[in-house]
Structures are given as structure tokens and as C-alpha cells.
Amino acid sequence: MERHIDTIGILTSGGDAPGMNAAIRAVTRSARFHNMNVVGIMRGYQGLIDKEFVKFTSSSVSNTIQRGGTILKTARSKAFLEADGRKLAYANMVEEGIDALIVIGGNGSLTGAQLFAREYDIPIIGLPGTIDNDLYGTDSTIGYDSALNTIVECVDKIRDTANSHDRIFFIEVMGRDAGFLAQNSAIASGAEAAIIPENNTDVDQLAEFIERGKRKSKNSAIVLVSEAQKNGVGGAMYYADRIRNEYPQFDARVTILGHLQRGGKPTAYDRILASRMGYAAIEALLEGQRNVMIGIKNDEIVYVPISKAIKMNKPINQELISVLNVLSL
């Protein structure tokens, strides 16, 4: 028999992402619509361990859909990685009367959710909240589109100075293990190349690309680089150093966009995505779903087993690589 759910707990965990507030709002309002109580858990799993609980009403989420960051705060809890931490978290959850959890976060956060659900038989619904877009089973994650737009705005500005000085800029963007941000921001900003973890880029190949652009009368170039470390340094620094050493004719500079990519207002796309996913999370609980992540595939809501969402590789569409190569000539 399905367990009756009176009270849900909601938390955000891992790196914040624009649109998380829109998701919290959607979950809260949908749950209240069905007369469920909502407990906001502050600072991710750490708040579950420290009993940082806040009663959420419909008005707790007023005027939040447009705000970046997360009103619930977030953390990467070390204590929750330990069995003792999870035991305490579960005891606090039971004491607070929380029957089910909604977890908004990326790969690490959903991995924690899966472990917790298996150990304590708790219904958990995950929402993909990460700018990296690296969760399998959904076309987009909450925050990805906003970060992409932020990056493109920055690259447009850097291009002005790159053009003026005839320089090559290596612009490092987030996504340790996934090149979605780098590849698509390169296409959207008209960059010359993207270096992503999914593809092996060779310095000669890169220089050839840049040289080809130069022959076509372009005197500057923009290369988007995923932050994955190479030989102990960030990707952008690594490639810029090699280009400087091996092709001194190029005047190379590095810009690391860093955490500014995670800030700012969510785009309309992310607000709608987060609203649909938050609403779907409560519908899923009511249908008796558990331990699934809400995804959107081809504009349809899908339930993805959390085990699949975190384990399966989400490939970069190879067509995107060809689009950039051809259009940057």
C-alpha cells in the first residue's frame, strides 16, 4: 500500500543554479494545493543533520521566481557522506514528521539522495538543478540556460577587446566533466573553437584553426575551454601557455569566468523549466513514484530513475561539434 504523504521536505544541494528558487516555489505551491505541509530544509543535507527546518507556506515563496541563488541556501555536506550523518538526518526527518523529500541539485546531490533512499526507504524525488547540464535523461537542467546566457554576454564583451588588440582569448567556463556550457556558448558567441572534456583537442589542431581564421582576415580569436584540469592547471591556462610557447606569433590571454556564471536572474526558459519540474515532482509523489528524477525530454515530462540520471553519460550531440567547426571558418 502506498504511504500517505502529509509533509514534504525540500532542499537545495551542491552548486547553486539560477532557477532553483522557481523550482522551490513550484514545489511549495503545488504541495500546498494538495494540502501537504512543506518544510524548507536550509543548507542542503547539512540542514537535515543540524535540524535547520523552516515551515513553508505559499507566501514563503512570494517574489522569488526572478531571484538567482537559492533562498534555502546550499552546501556540499561532508557529514552526510558518512553513515552516521545520514542516520542522524533520518532521525531528524522522522522527528519533524517529514514523509518524503524533494532534492534539487546536481550529480553529487542526487547520488546522496539515492544512497539515503536505499538505506532508509524514503520516497525521494530529484529535480536536476545544475548549470553543468550533465544529468542523463533530461534535455536541460535548471540553471543551464541562464549560465549559458551569462557566458555569452561576457564573451561578447571580451570580443571587443580581443578585436581591438588582435589577441586570442582562452575563456574558461564551468563544467569539470561536461562540455555543454563550453560547446554551446562557443556556438552562440561565434567563437573560433571549444575545448571540451568529451573531445581530445590537440594544440596543433587548435593552432591550425586559429591560423585558418587569421588567413580569412580575422586577427583575433575566442576559444571556450571547459574548466577540467590539465597537468595540474585549469584548461584555459594550459592551452594558452602551450600556444604561447609553441606559436609565439599569437598574443594569447586568459579569462576565467568562475562563479559569476552561477549568479544572476534565471532566464524565462529556466523559470518555466523549473516551474514545470517542481509541479511534476508533487504529481509524481501523488502517483506513488519514488527515487526518480524529473526530466523534460522533447518537451514532455519524464521520470528518470535517479540511478540512471547520475550514472549514465549524457553525450554531447556530435552535430554541435560540426556546427562550430564549419561556422567558425
* Rounded least distance, CB 111 to ligand F6P, Å: 12
* Rounded least distance, CB 83 to ligand F6P, Å: 24
Q: Does 175 bind ligand F6P (CB under 6 A)?
A: yes
231 forms beta bridges with none
* Rounded least distance, CB 18 to ligand F6P, Å: 11
* Rounded least distance, CB 326 to ligand F6P, Å: 28
Task: State how far the Cα of 69 lies from the Cα of 143, in Å rounded to an integer.
Answer: 10
Please give the biggest Cα pair distance in the chain. Answer: 72
Task: State how far the Cα of 118 lies from the Cα of 40, in Å rounded to an integer.
Answer: 22
Identify the three-state secondary structure at position 259: helix
* Grid coordinates of 38: 512543506
Q: Does 222 bind ligand F6P (CB under 6 A)?
A: no
Q: Does 130 bind ligand F6P (CB under 6 A)?
A: yes
Active site residue 132: yes
* Rounded least distance, CB 15 to ligand F6P, Å: 3
Contacts of 208 (CB under 8 A, 6+ apart): none
Q: Answer yes or no: are the C-beta atoms of 92 and 9 closer than 8 Å.
A: no
Nearer to ligand F6P, 14 or 278 (CB): 14
Give the range of 169-177, 193-201, 302-310, 321-329 binding ligand F6P by CB under 6 A.
Answer: 169-177
Task: State how far the Cα of 74 lies from the Cα of 80, in Å rounded to an integer.
Answer: 13
Nearer to ligand F6P, 3 or 259 (CB): 259
Q: Does 262 bind ligand F6P (CB under 6 A)?
A: yes
Site for ligand F6P in 224-253 (CB under 6 A): 227
126 forms beta bridges with 103, 293
Site for ligand F6P in 11-30 (CB under 6 A): 14-15
Site for ligand F6P in 138-167 (CB under 6 A): none
Task: State how far the Cα of 271 lies from the Cα of 129, in Å rounded to an integer.
Answer: 12
Which position has the grid cell 576559444? Answer: 223
- Interacting residue with ligand F6P among 132, 145, 172, 192 (CB under 6 A): 132
For residue 267, which of 165, 131, 71 has the smallest C-alpha distance? 131
Kindly list the catalytic residues.
Answer: 132
- Given the rule CB under 6 A, which residues bind ligand F6P? 14-15, 106, 130-132, 174-176, 227, 262
